[in-house]
Structure formats: C-alpha cells, structure tokens
Chains A and B, each alone.
Chain A
Amino acid sequence: MTTIQYKCPNCGGPLQWSATKQTFACDYCGSEFTEEQLKIAFPDIEGKTLEENVEEPEVKEFEENTSLYRCGSCGAEIIAETTTAATFCYYCHNPVIIEGRLSGDYKPSHVIPFVIEREKALTIFKEWCSKKWFLPNDFKSEQQLEKMTGVYIPFWLADCKADARMTAMGKKVNTWQSGDRIYTRTKEYSVKRSAIIDYMKVPADGSSKAENSLMEAIEPFDYTAMKPFSMSYLSGYLAEKYDIKNIDVLPRIKERVTSSSESILRESITGYSMVIPQNKNINLIKTTWNYTLFPVWFMTYKHRDKSYYFSINGQTGKLAGTPPFDTKKGVLFSAGIGLLASVLLGIIMIVGGIV
C-alpha cells in the first residue's frame, strides 16, 4: 500500500494544515496554499477510489489489525493500524496520509478542519488545570503534555425526525383557610402531547478507540465550518476511519434523541402544580446519515495505575475529561473549610452573647 505526502510545489518540503491560518503551509519555505490550489497542484491524488489505491500488504505475517507502509520522504517503513488514515513517519516526522484508507465507502462526505492548533490546545489544557486545585502536582508536567495528539475522528451524523407522544395527568392544587380549617381543592386534567421533532446532524463517533462519553462531552461542533472532504486537511494530524457502522451507532443516537424529545414534550406541559407522566412513545423516522471527520485533541494521563482520558474539541476548544483527584489535598482543604466554619460559629456565639 502506498502513502501520500503533499509536498510544497515551491521547495518540495512537506505541507501541513495550519489551524490558525486555515491554509496549507510549508515549514521550510513558508509558502501557503489554499485547498483549491492544492487540487490543481495534485490532480492525481484527490478523488481516487478505494479500488484504485488498495494494494496488498507488503508483509503477510503482520497481524490482522496492523499494516506496513513506506514513508514517501525518507523511505522508512511505518507500522500503522488498519483504521489509521493519517499519521507521522517515526523517523523523519513528516506527515503521512495512507492512500485508500479514506476512499470508497470510507470516504467522508465532509470534514471540519482543525482550528485549535497544538500550542492553543496546550494553553487551554493548562488553563483548565490551573483552575483545578486538587490535581496531583506532577499532573501538569511537560512530559505529560507532550502526549497530546491531534486526531481526525470519524463521526456519523444522523438527520432524523422523532415522532414523540406523551400522556400525563396534570393536577392544579389550590389551598385556602376558612375558620379553623384548611381546604385543598384539586383539579385533575388528562394531558396529551404529540409532536414531530426534527433533528439535524446528531453526531455519534464511529471509532471504537474513542470513548463515546468523551466525544459527546466536547460537542457541539460548528457545522457552518464544515467543508467537503479533502485528504489534504489530514496532513499534519492523525486520522482514523470508522470501524463502527452507522447501524451500530443508531442505539446511541436513539437514546439521545429520545431523552431530548421527552424533555421537550415535558416542558410543553405548563400551568400545573404537579404532572404525573403516564405513557410515552418516541420513534425515529426518516433517518439519513452523513459520514464526517471531526478534529479532536487527545491526551491520556496515567496516575497510580489508572488512566485518565481528556479530549479537546479541535474546533471550539471545549475540553472534557475526568481529572485525577488528590485525596490528600482534598482532605486538607475540606478540614480547613470545616475549621473556618466552626471558628466563625464560635465568634458569632461569643459576639452574640450566646456563650
């Protein structure tokens, strides 16, 4: 299998996607190119089909999930997983796009290019850490931060309609006093709600390597910046192709849409002192799919044999993850607050003349 490298038409150096400039830049001669200019410069690369590009693995004994590729710059052999679509050469560190991985059925219709570059992602992460008082001291070490990786993650986007129905009992309760008695009047209503709720581009990641909750937590992505897919955007980042089919992410989509639709119906029931839901039925209809790559920065942190995963939306900078908690710091802080509260109480009691 061959690899692709977008080389600078001016000096032949490797081109990378610049998140800040939103162009393709050459680090060697400083040239910048738009996507259209690259398409003209590399007419043979764009638009190839899977059949045209797929070649037999070079080494048969490799395990099922790995393949061997040759770097177009230095000729070194690169080992990559079968789902990897873009990576770096281990030796010359030039970006490598593995040809054919994102073509045919695996060719995304759209891509959201990285807007947050590595330095910015690191700043976001450091700022987030600075607000967390109870992180272990070694958490923010440069060694850990070096492990931050920018990856294009495959996402399925579902357009669908939810046929949502709900019945409930609504109660209006009035209370008043007359003489030495308190009266309570209750009026009961049968409440019915039915709606067609249209959802556009509900995302679900199609990569088994990406933690689903972590991916959902960095949503939303700004779809207005979505561009028709071009492999050139992958240059300089890692990229994955999907290994979970759209039919397999449907339950996740349905769960999210059902929960959201329920809350919409529930919020439309107003004016009651109490609402008791009785029946609800939510069905998805007319589901259509789009396959897209979204930009995500990843970091894994290992603390006392436990791994902590973080992700940053490569477009908006939204960060998600479970930070490690330094119990010793937490106990000291809590005891301090407790002490302060008890001292304040003591002062109030003494000043108030209670003691």
Chain B
Amino acid sequence: MMMKKLTAFISVLVISLSLFSVSVSAKRYDEGKVFVSDKESYLSDSEFDDIVDTAEKLSDKTGYNVGIIITDDIGSKSPVAFSDDAYMDVFSKNSDGFMILLNNDTYEDHISTAGNAILMYSDARLMNTLDSAGSYLKEEDFYSALKTMLGKLDSYYDAGVPAENEGYTKDDIENATGQDFLGRLINIFHKLGISFVIFIVVSIVTFFIVKSSYRFKTAESARTYVNKSETFFREKSDTFIREYTTSHKISSDSSGGGSRGGGSGRVGGSSVHRSSGGGSFGGASRKR
C-alpha cells in the first residue's frame, strides 16, 4: 500500500516537473552564422523554428551573422552594451552582421550592427526597422515583430548600400572609432583634455572639502538636556483634507547610434561607437 502511494507520488512529481520544465525551457539555436535565444520562451516551438529558418535564409543571402536575443534580464548593462557584448560573445570581433535585442527588462529594444552591416544598415534604416515592429513589440507579439524586422532588413539588403554610405569602407568605421594612428592621437588628446578637467575639478573640490573640515564644528544640540520622563505630547493629530490625482503621458523616445564611453563618430549615415570589448558597432535603439 505504502509502496503504491510512493510510486504514485513520484510519478506525479516527475510528470509535473517535466511539464514545468517544458513550459519554462529556454529555446536556443546556435549554428554557423545564426544565433537565436529565447530564454523565457516567448515564442512557441513552431514560431521559434520559423524565426530560425528566416534568419538562416537571410544569413545565407547576405553572408552576415544574424543574432536574435529575447530576454527579461540584461543585468546592469545598457541595451547597447548588452547587445554589443552579446554579438562579440557569439560571433567574432571583426565580422559582418547584426544582433537584434528584444529587451523585456528595460523595454528599450536595440539592433547592433557590425562590419559591413554598419554600412548596409544606416541609422535611418535601423530606426525604420524598429519602428515597423513598434506596435507588435508593445503588444509583446515578438514573433510578428521579428518577422517584420527580418523582412525589413532583407529588403534593405536588396536595395543595396544607402547613398549616404556609398564609398565608405570598414577602415572608415575603424577610423571613426579612433582605431587609426591619427584617430588614436586625437582621441588621446581628447582624453588628456578630459583628464585635465578632472584634475582641476577634483583639486578644487578637494581643497574646499579639506578647508571646510577646518571650520568650527557646530555646538551641541540642546536635545542633550531633554528630560524624557517629564516630556509629553498634548496633541498629535493628522486630519485628512483632500485627495487629487494627476496624470501625464509617457514620452516614447527613439534614438539612433547609441554610444557609450569609447570613441564614437559617423560614417556617412551610420553612427558608430566602440564597445568595451574593443569592437566597432553601429546600431539604433527604440523605447516601447
């Protein structure tokens, strides 16, 4: 009898755990030039497979790395940094491609572009791509959003490099982010300027902090002399008067070419920046 109950309990437990693990199992595809991660299973199995298939086709056609991440947690990083770093982790530093980040943590989606994809996908094209999926993203219909975005990126590839980016090369991107000697030198002088400003500001602030510590310390409060046993409140009243509610609309900001910390600049119609890992990236963000 006891054995039967135990067997039944274990069976229920195993089935429950397996069902649970199915419902929350992360979806991940990492083959060749395509990477798709859906950690919280926002996409159904068939939707996930379809997105992988679309990404594979786009990658085959363009030769680009195609990365897609849907996540609830970008840690303490900014969407730009998360997306850039993810691209660097999954693909190689100087490769061509892009990483689409659907960010359910801070609700700011981002596309990072690298190598020739920076030239192919100008800021305007990336913003259009993000805007085209805006309504789907708001409704958290990530399948439709990704289909729309991949379709848009596909059609832009067909249209060729935008006129404003024609004539530019990967070297121009590296130069714009401070990779060549002259660029490095300019950057060094730029940083030296920052260092000098920091030197002046820190010195002045330190001087005044030190000097203020030599000022006369304030007198002892008379609270030291309060006789608590003979102190009492005669009235303590909090009377409700009124209540009112106001509201305002949240502004929906869009920004192209996020830059953080490192060298940044423009190549034709694409803004570029350097990630902390040392890679050059283009990109655009959009708040939902």
Minimum C-beta distance from A192 to chain B (A): 5
User: A80 on the interface (CB 8 Å rule)?
Assistant: no
B225 touches A264 (CB 8 A): no
B222 touches A184 (CB 8 A): no
User: B203 on the interface (CB 8 Å rule)?
Assistant: yes
- Scoring B203, B220, B222, B224 by chain A CB atoms within 10 A of each residue's CB, the highest score goes to B222
User: B196 on the interface (CB 8 Å rule)?
Assistant: yes
B211 touches A330 (CB 8 A): yes
B263 touches A354 (CB 8 A): yes
User: B244 on the interface (CB 8 Å rule)?
Assistant: yes
A193 touches B216 (CB 8 A): no
Q: Which of A335-355 contact B (CB under 8 A)?
A: 335, 337-339, 341-343, 345-346, 349, 352-355
User: A198 on the interface (CB 8 Å rule)?
Assistant: yes
User: B61 on the interface (CB 8 Å rule)?
Assistant: no
Chain B residues whose CB sits within 8 angstroms of the CB of A324 once the complex forms: 214
Minimum C-beta distance from B35 to chain A (A): 24
Chain B residues whose CB sits within 8 angstroms of the CB of A134 once the complex forms: 210, 214
A198 to B228, CA, bound (A): 7
B250 touches A260 (CB 8 A): no
Majority DSSP secondary structure for residues of A touching B: mixed
B262 touches A353 (CB 8 A): yes
How many residue pairs between the two chains, A and B, have CB atoms under 8 Å in the bound complex? Answer: 187
With A260-B221, A341-B202 given, is the CB distance from A346 to B210 under 8 Å? no
With A213-B219, A330-B210 given, is the CB distance from A198 to B236 under 8 Å? no
> How big is chain A's contact interface, by range?
35 or more
A264 to B246, CA, bound (A): 34
A283 to B216, CA, bound (A): 29
CB nearest neighbor in B for A181: B247
B234 touches A194 (CB 8 A): yes
Q: Which of A86-94, A215-223, A242-250 makes up part of the contact surface?
A: A215-223
Chain A residues whose CB sits within 8 angstroms of the CB of B239 once the complex forms: 189-192
| B interface, CB within 8 angstroms of A | 178, 184, 187-188, 191-192, 194-196, 198-204, 206-207, 210-211, 214-227, 229-250, 252, 261-263, 274, 276-278
Top 7 A-B pairs ranked by shortest CB distance? Answer: A338-B203, A216-B219, A198-B230, A334-B207, A260-B222, A194-B235, A256-B222
28 inter-chain pairs at a CB distance below 8 angstroms, sorted by A residue, are: A183-B247, A185-B245, A186-B244, A186-B245, A187-B240, A187-B242, A189-B240, A190-B238, A194-B235, A198-B226, A198-B231, A202-B225, A220-B220, A257-B222, A330-B207, A330-B211, A333-B210, A334-B202, A337-B202, A339-B203, A341-B202, A342-B196, A342-B198, A342-B202, A346-B195, A352-B276, A354-B261, A354-B274
A220-B220, A325-B211 given; name 5 further pairs at CB < 8 Å: A183-B245, A183-B246, A193-B236, A216-B219, A268-B236
